[in-house]
Structure 1
Amino acid sequence: MSKVKPAPLPPGTLIGGYRVVRRLAAGGFGVVYLALDREGQQVAIKEYIPASLATREPGELLPKVPPEKLSLYRLGLKSFFEEGRSLAQISHASVVSVYNFFRENETVYMVMNYLEGATLQDFIITARELKAQKVFRESTIRSLFDEVLRGLRIVHQHKMLHLDIKPANIFITDDNKAVMIDFGAAREVLSKEGNFIRPMYTPGFAAPEMYRRDTQMGPWTDIYAIGACIYACMAGFPPPEAPQRQTKDRLTSSLAKLRGIYSDNLIEVVEWCMALDPMTRPQSVFTLQKELSREGERRYTKLSVAEKMRLQLDTLVSDTKKSLNKAGEATGVAARPK
């Protein structure tokens, strides 16, 4: 039985001088509202209320936290508040703007600029459904991530990490600006300190070190996620999850299918960013920016006939296994193709 999420604040609620209009989004970590400030300007307000630690009844303002979860709740609250304070010091077009942050109702609220547009995830799904050979043109990918990396470089210069970069957290505004939203540092604190059954990071985009408590994270952790986002823009779906890759790494064979469609340089950049060993990835955003801007080196390696046949055979075997599994599920028998 799934746990009931805390009820959002009712429309019309006043918090810190802002009036809640409606809920925009809700996740495992909090709720985002559309609100109006005293001048009637639209803002987005993010409320810290992690579903794994707190509950709230409809119409109530205060979250209810069981005594045994209170210390963890406060730890996340402190981290969320620090995140708001740090983001408020950053002014960059590719980083969500934090105007204000305050404590009220035994929690913390972060006031941000309200963005209109769609996420990169929405664009990937739409492009994938068109079934074109390329999900995005290479020039589009390079210019998009050049913009994102400019913002990420500033974030890292402020001694911050994003820790939840994924297509759903890259927002493309109606005036075609790419903005990083929903930072995950506070979420990461809870993930490391609390023994949650369900991880708070996003499979496919989370670096291997995020799955371990004893590994240091740094700029290279966000760079892994950037590589995974570029992969998603090329392939139309997320890359293999890090734990699966450590058992059997299929990333190179997945990227091989994109040879001839995207340049060797872009494919090599993705492999470099997504190296399982953090120390063999680009160690700074600047290093990655330099490589990504080398557009002059557009070599395209066409697949040989033998390689094409091998990829087709792999696809055929994979499709056969899927159809056998579906047939097995339909009859209630688990099919095990050899």
Structure 2
Amino acid sequence: MENALKDTEKKLSKVKLGNRSDSGILLPSNEGSENRDDVNALKASKESDSGHSSPHSTNPFNGSQGSSAKSIDGKAEFLQNLEKESEKLNQYHLKEDLGQGSYGMVRLAYNEDDKNHYAMKILSKKKLLRQAGFLRRPPPRKGGKKMSTPLDKVYQEIALLKKLDHPNIIKLVEVLDDPGQDKLYMVFELMRKGEVMDVPTTETFTEDKARNYFRDATLGLEYLHFQKIIHRDIKPSNLLIDDQGHVKIADLGVSQEFIGHDLEVTTSAGTPAFHAPEAVSGSDEKYQGKPLDIWALGITLYCFMYGNCPFQSEHILELHSKIQEDPLVFPDSPKVSSSCKDLITKMLIKDPLKRIKMSEVKVHPWVTCNGSSPLTSEKDNCHLVTVTEEDVKTCVKQIPRLDTLILVKAMLKRKSFRNPAFNNSSELTKT
């Protein structure tokens, strides 16, 4: 028995899951109620000892009116262990918040196995399934195996994201999922230098600096399009700088995969000020996906040079109207070369059919310094990623429920299978 306990304890020591409402990792309301009941039950038990009535008499943590100090200590110890473990998720130590993305909280995470820091994005599975824009995969081809649940489609797209491998795309390291909770934990490589630019700003880039960042973003976006993925939310805050000063595209939360030459889109996604005219027209007509990313990249380049978006309004309908109807205007200051303005103008043509294509952007004189510094060819820049059934099966690591984990570890510590949180429970087995 003792050997079995040691083996189990060894396995459990490698699996730690955290959930704390005060640190940004939130349990969904229907799951979090269990932990709240635990805390309320402990309070109720103390009230019981002091002669006060408790409204939580049906909670399993509530015992008889004559609860002993020893049982209360056991409950307190259980909850203290719960609090202690709540700062860890498997091998990751969860630290401070890094920000709030469009699809969830991002926290700094330290991996105690490889001694490196990562960015952990915490998402709601329910929200992902509700968002039609989350990498919707086309129906299985003839003879293909049907997905058993909607979440499997999300997993298939996660498998694709994990296999993306490009110097200008943020690397997804692993994904953790507790089937009993609503949260999905996505672990990305950490970009310590942060966003390329915080818009609006008066600190604009020189053309050389803007060109270097733009070239990186262009190669990354070409790679995504080659994988038949439309990003749909290209903007400065989704371009992060690595330790070598290069840009990587992040936040694929509203991306979509497509089949054929291009994606046909009917709904808008992403950030309003970076929306293309065809995305805000209010029409039910379908439009192509690649030109959306070209437009957003053009707005991003405009931000690099002028520190703000060309079309602005506090009111969404007025903003949509300006995007569709207002001409593109370049401020007198700062001074920007006519070649750069020419590229921006071609990327922000309102008719998507006349808008410049990615292949044309790559060879534009401003991008290539008049041909003296050509970009890598598509053949050398892109390789096609394929996803197998095995990739889908292994793309997400399943983790146990936190309350069960702490309970079992508490039992192992006591070398007893008696629940330390229950009052007047008899020991079933002791070694």
Same fold, TM-score > 0.5, yes or no: yes
Q: 1:22 to 1:193 in 2, by over 3 A?
A: farther
Moved more, 221-230 or 200-209: 200-209
SS at match of 1:121: coil
Equivalent residues of 2:194, 2:240 under 8 A apart: yes
Give the counterpart of 1:227 among 298, 312, 317.
298
Q: Note if 1:42 corresponds to 2:100.
A: no
> Which position in structure 1 is the counterpart of 2:184?
108
> Which position in structure 2 is the counterpart of 1:216?
287
Give the counterpart of 1:157 among 226, 251, 262.
226
Aligned equivalents of 1:75, 1:248: Cα separation in 2: 26
Aligned equivalents of 1:28, 1:268: Cα separation in 2: 32
Q: Note if 1:8 corresponds to 2:77.
A: no
Moved more, 209-218 or 33-42: 209-218
Could you tell me the percent identity over the aligned residues? Answer: 23
| Long gaps (5+) in structure 1 | 55-69, 130-134, 298-338
Give the counterpart of 1:244 among 303, 321, 332.
321
Report how far residue 186 of structure 1 moved: 5.5
CA-based RMSD: 3.5
Aligned equivalents of 2:206, 2:285: Cα separation in 1: 39
Question: Post-superposition, which runs of at least 4 consecutive aligned residues in structure 1 deviate over 6 A?
Answer: none
Aligned equivalents of 1:93, 1:157: Cα separation in 2: 15
Q: 1:161 to 1:24 in 2, by over 3 A?
A: same
SS at match of 1:110: strand
> Which position in structure 1 is the counterpart of 2:359?
286
Q: 1:22 to 1:215 in 2, by over 3 A?
A: same
Equivalent residues of 1:161, 1:218 under 8 A apart: yes
Equivalent residues of 1:83, 1:185 under 8 A apart: no
Report how far residue 75 of structure 1 moved: 8.7
| Long gaps (5+) in structure 2 | 1-20, 27-84, 135-150, 258-264, 313-318, 372-431
Residue deviations 1:267-320, cap 9 Å, x none? 11111111111111123x2321111434239xxxxxxxxxxxxxxxxxxxxxxx
Q: How many residues align?
A: 259
SS at match of 1:255: coil
Q: Note if 1:148 corresponds to 2:217.
A: yes
Q: Note if 1:19 corresponds to 2:93.
A: yes
Report how far residue 247 of structure 1 moved: 5.3
SS at match of 2:232: coil
> Which position in structure 2 is the counterpart of 1:72?
130
SS at match of 1:109: strand
Aligned equivalents of 1:112, 1:215: Cα separation in 2: 33
Instruction: Give the aligned residue type for 2:291.
Output: W
Aligned equivalents of 2:336, 2:183: Cα separation in 1: 47
Report how far residue 119 of structure 1 moved: 1.2
Aligned equivalents of 2:101, 2:232: Cα separation in 1: 16
SS at match of 1:111: strand
SS at match of 2:274: coil
Report how far residue 220 of structure 1 moved: 1.4
Aligned equivalents of 2:351, 2:253: Cα separation in 1: 22
> Which position in structure 1 is the counterpart of 2:407?
none
1:51-90 matched pairs, under 5 angstroms: 72=130, 81-90=155-164
> Which position in structure 1 is the counterpart of 2:166?
92
Which has the greater radius of gyration?
2
Report how far residue 24 of structure 1 moved: 1.4
Q: Note if 1:202 corresponds to 2:277.
A: no
Q: 1:79 to 1:207 in 2, by over 3 A?
A: farther
Residue deviations 1:147-186, cap 9 Å, x none? 1111111111111111111111111234311111112426
> Which position in structure 1 is the counterpart of 2:382?
none
Equivalent residues of 1:48, 1:80 under 8 A apart: no
